[in-house]
Structure 1
Amino acid sequence: MTGDYEGPKLDEILRLTKENNRMLHKMRRNVFLGGLFKLLLWAAFIIVPLWLYMQYLAPVMQSMLDTVNQIQGTGTSAQAQFGDLNESLQKLRAQFPQYFQGQ
Structure 2
Amino acid sequence: MTYDKLSDYLKIIANPSRLEILDLLSCGELCADDLLKYFEFSQPTLSHHMKVLADIELIITRRDGNKKMYKLNNEVLKEVGIYIDLLARDNEECVCKSISKGDCAS
TM class by shorter chain equals: under 0.3
Question: How high is the TM-score relative to the length of structure 1?
Answer: 0.23
Question: Bigger radius of gyration, 1 or 2?
Answer: 1
Q: TM-score, normalised by structure 2?
A: 0.22
Q: Is the helix fraction higher in 1 or 2?
A: 1
Q: Which has the higher strand share?
A: 2
Q: Between the two structures, name the one with larger relative contact order (CA 8 Å, sep ≥ 6).
A: 2
